[in-house]
Amino acid sequence: MTTALDVVKGALGFLGVLGAGESPSAEDGADGLALLNTMMRGFPTDGIDYAHTTMTALADAVPMPDECEMHLQFMLAAYWAPKFGKTPNPMVIERADNGRRYLQGRYRALRPVRIDAGLDERRYGSMTLNEWTRG
Claim: this prediction has a pTM higher than 0.95: no
CA distance 64 to 62: 6
pLDDT of residue 121: 55
34, 55, 48, 98 alpha-carbon torsion, rounded to 10°: 70
Per-residue tens of pLDDT for the chain, all 135 residues: 999 999 999 999 999 998 888 999 999 999 999 999 999 999 999 989 888 899 999 999 999 999 999 999 999 999 999 988 999 999 999 999 999 999 999 998 777 777 766 665 555 555 665 665 665
Domain boundaries, the chain: 4-106
Architecture of domain 4-106: Orthogonal Bundle (1.10)
